[in-house]
Structure 1
Amino acid sequence: MGWRNPGDTLTHATATDSTAPRGPGIGRLAGLALAAALGAALAVPAAAAGESGAALAERPLAVRNLSPATLLFGLPRALGAAERPGGTSAALIVEHANNFTSGTGDDARVVFDGSTTAASLALRGALSARVEWGVEVPYVHHSGGFTDGFIDGFHDLFGFPDGGRSAAPRGRLDYRVDYAGEPSIVIGGSGGDLGDVRGWLGWRIADGDRQVVARAMVKAPTGSVDELSGSGGTDVSLWLELVDRRTLSGAGIVATLMGGATALGDGDLARADQRDVVYVGHFGLHWPVTDRLILRGQIDAHSEVIDSDVRQLAHGAVQGTLGGTLALSQRAWLDLGVVEDLTGGSAPDVVFLLTLGVRL
C-alpha cells in the first residue's frame, strides 16, 4: 500500500466546522490557569519566598515532544537533581502544543492540524538518602487551536513563513494517520482521554557540585492509540543525569545534562516499523538571577521512534526552550516556558509550558 500522490493539503483537508460549539476545553482552562498563576506570582512579596533560586535551578523545565504521534511513547523528560531525604513534591504540568503540518510517503499519510494539551500530575519523593520515586499521570486533550490567531500574528509581525497557516481555517481540528496495513486514525472532534502513566525510580550516584543521578522508568499502556493518548505498549527507559554547579560557578549558572535510551514495547501505531530503542538527550543552562527568579534555556532531543519516510510520524526531533521559574512562596514555584521545534515537522511548531509545583 503506498501514498504516491500527495493528496489533500492542509488548506483543503476535510475538517470539523470550527464554528461548532466545543465548550471551554482544557486549552482555555489552561489559559485561565496561567493568568491566575501569574496574578498570584505578582501578589507574593519577596520576603515570603523561601525556596531559593539555587535549589530550584537544579531541575530543568519539564519538556517533551508533544507531537500527536511521538507523545504516545514513553520517552523520559529530564528531571535534574534527585529528591532529598524527607522531601516530597507535587506538580501540575500543563503543556499546550499547536500543530500545523502534513506529510505523505510510500507507507503513510499524516495530517496534524489542531492543538494538543496535556495536563499531568507528577509526584516525587525520597525513599532513602539516595533513592527517589516518582509517578506522572497525564490527561491528553485534542482540540481546535485557540492559539492559531496569536501564532499567525507572530509570524506576520516578524515576517516569518507560515507554511500556509494563513490560508487554513482557524480553530480547526484535523488529525489523521493513515499507515499501511493498519486502521486509519481520524480525530475531528474535541475530546480527551487518560494518557499513559509513568513511574520511575532514581538513585543518586554522586553528590556535591556535580550530582549524578541514574533513573529507570516504566510507561504503562493506560492510554489509547485511537484517541492519540497512548501507544498501546509498555516502554522501559534507563538514563543518567548530571547537575553541574562547578563548571560555570563563576557566572552563577547551573548546567544540566541527560542521556539515555528507551526500549519500546509492541505498540499499536506502526508496530512493524517501530524502533527497538530510542535515544534521548538534554542540555540546559539555568541562571538564578535572584532567590526568586531563574532564567532558563535548554535543548531536548530524541532519535527516530518510527522508521517511516514521513517525518511527522515520530521522526527524531530537537526542541529549544526559553523560560524561567518564579518562587511563589516558601514551598511553591511556577515554571513558564516556550518550546520551539528546531528540526521541522517532527515536533509541534510551538509548545507553551506551565508547571505549578509545591513541596508537601
Structure 2
Amino acid sequence: MNIHAPRRGYALFAWALAFVAVLHAVPARARDALPKWPLIGPLQTRNLSPFSLLRMDFMPPPAAAGQRPGWDLDARLTHANSFVKSENVKNYLRARGQPRTLTAQDVQALLATPGDVLYFDGEITALDLTARYVHDRHWTGYVNLPLLFYGGGILDDAIDGFHQAFGFTSAERDLVADNEYQAVIRHSGDTLVLLDAPSGVQVGDPVLGVRFASEFANEAFAIIEGAVKLPVGDADNYVSSGAVDYGLQLTLQKQLGRHGLYLSVAHQWLGEAKRFPNAFRSQASEASVAYEFGFTRHTATVLQTSWSKTAFKTGSGPFATDELLASLGVRHWRGNVAYDFSITRNYGNYENTQDIAATLGVSWLLPGNPVNPPIN
C-alpha cells in the first residue's frame, strides 16, 4: 500500500481549490485594464519514464486565449536518461560488485530472486510530430505521432559527475557499465528482457484527439478533451503496449496580464498490454499544474509539475510509487514561429521515472494564425 498516495491526493485537491479561487479573485472588468500578453500555455513535454512510455500520455493543451482558426504544426525533440531498479536488483548489483553490462547469466540470477524485478538503464529520444487544426474558438482537433530512438546514452558520464561534484550517492550507477541500454522487468508473471537497444528509429503509437474550449469568465477557459491511442508500435521492443488506450482530460486556464495559470486532470482507460497483461492497471490518472510568466511580448518562462498514478496493480517499491516530474522551460516567438527549451527532472520518487530530460520544440502557425497578433 502506498501510504503517500492519500497525502498527494489531498495536495492535488488543495491545488484545484486554490486554482478556482484565483480564477474568481480578480473581477472580470479588472482584466480589461491590463495589457494583453500573447502567452502560449503549458509545456508540451512527453513523459519518457519507463512505464508511462507505453500508455497514452496526455499533454496539457495550449493556452486557449491565444488560439486562432487555422493549422498549427509542432515538432518536439525530447531526450531522456533513465536508470531505475527495484531493491532486489540493487542488492544483486552490490553483491556482484563489477561495473559491467548485464549478461544472460545475470538475467537468470535476477529472475531467480523472489519478488518483482525492475531494471531499466538507457536513454530514449522522442521526436513528437503534431498537427493541430483550430476550427473556431471552441473546437480543435489534433493528431500526434512519436518517433522513438533507443540507445545507451550520452548523459551517463555527466550525471555521474554531477552526483560526485555535489556529494550525492551514485545510486548504483557505478555498478553498471555506462552508455548501455538494457531492461529486465518481471511483475505478476509477466517478463520482459532486452539486453540491447532496438535498432533504428521506432514508430510509436499515434494519438488522435478533439478539444472543446469555453470561456466561462474573462480570460478564463475550461477545456474538455477526448483522445485515443492506436497500437502501431512494436510491443516486443518496448515501443508500444500493443493495445488501444483512450481517455478524457479537463483543463482550467486563467491569464492575468503577463501571468498564466494552468491546471489539467486526466483519466485513461487502458487496453490489455501485450507484454504485461497481468501487471498493468486497466485505468490510470494524471495531473499537471503550470505557471507561465511573460518577460516580454516575445519571451516567457514556464514552471510545471506533473503527477502520474503508478501503472501497476500491485507491488512495492518502484512498482507502487507514483511518478512525480518537474519542468522548467523558456520560450521565444516571432510572427508565426515559436521556439521553446525545457529541462525535466524527477523528484520525490526516483526509482521509477526518468532522471533528467531535455526538450527542444518548434511550432509553426501557418499564415493567418500569428502567435502574437497586433494589439488593437
Q: Which amino acid aligns with 1:172?
A: E
- Larger displacement relative to structure 2 (87-96 or 271-280): 271-280
Name 2:138's counterpart in structure 1.
130
Name 1:214's counterpart in structure 2.
224
Give the CA deviation at 1:212. Answer: 1.2
Gaps of 5+ in 2: 1-34, 89-113, 367-376
Which of 1 and 2 has greater Rg? 2
Going by fraction, where is helix more abundant, 1 or 2? Answer: 2
- Specify which of 300, 306, 309 is matched with residue 303 of structure 1: 309
Percent identical among aligned pairs is 21
CA RMSD of aligned residues (A): 2.2
Gaps of 5+ in 1: 1-51
Distance between the aligned counterparts of 1:253 and 1:94, measured in 2?
Answer: 26
- Specify which of 245, 249, 270 is matched with residue 239 of structure 1: 249
Give the CA deviation at 1:104. Answer: 5.4
Give the CA deviation at 1:243. Answer: 1.5
Give the CA deviation at 1:65. Answer: 2.3
Q: Which amino acid aligns with 1:175?
A: A
Name 1:337's counterpart in structure 2.
342
Q: Which amino acid aligns with 2:332?
A: L
- Larger displacement relative to structure 2 (207-216 or 281-290): 207-216
Q: Which amino acid aligns with 1:221?
A: P
Give the CA deviation at 1:236. Answer: 0.8
- Specify which of 183, 186, 190 is matched with residue 178 of structure 1: 186
Give the CA deviation at 1:231. Answer: 0.7
- Specify which of 151, 164, 167 is matched with residue 159 of structure 2: 151
Q: Deviations over 1:64-85 (max 9, x none)?
A: 3211222100021112334734
Q: Which amino acid aligns with 1:78?
A: P
- Larger displacement relative to structure 2 (268-277 or 297-306): 268-277
C-alpha contact 2:133 2:141 (8 A) present in aligned 1: yes
- Specify which of 62, 65, 78 is matched with residue 60 of structure 2: 78
Q: Which amino acid aligns with 1:125?
A: Y
Name 1:230's counterpart in structure 2.
240
- Summarize the Cα distance change of 1:172–1:314 in structure 2 as closer, same or farther, 3 Å threshold: farther
Name 1:139's counterpart in structure 2.
147
Distance between the aligned counterparts of 1:315 and 1:270, measured in 2?
Answer: 18
Q: Deviations over 1:216-248 (max 9, x none)?
A: 0101111122111111111111011111114xx
C-alpha contact 1:69 1:313 (8 A) present in aligned 2: no
Give the CA deviation at 1:169. Answer: 2.1
Q: Which amino acid aligns with 2:54?
A: L
Q: Deviations over 1:131-150 (max 9, x none)?
A: 10011000111101111122
Give the CA deviation at 1:174. Answer: 1.2
Secondary structure at the aligned position of 1:153 is classed as: helix
Distance between the aligned counterparts of 2:207 and 2:164, measured in 1?
Answer: 40
Distance between the aligned counterparts of 1:69 and 1:53, measured in 2?
Answer: 40
Name 2:208's counterpart in structure 1.
199
Instruction: Flag as ranges the 4+ runs of structure 1 deviating above 4 A.
Output: 104-107, 310-315
Equivalenced residues, count: 303
Q: Deviations over 1:250-269 (max 9, x none)?
A: xx321111012111111113
Distance between the aligned counterparts of 2:126 and 2:176, measured in 1?
Answer: 24
The two structures have a TM-score, normalised by structure 1, of 0.78
Name 2:276's counterpart in structure 1.
270
Secondary structure at the aligned position of 1:339 is classed as: strand
- Specify which of 121, 134, 155 is matched with residue 129 of structure 2: 121
C-alpha contact 1:261 1:278 (8 A) present in aligned 2: yes
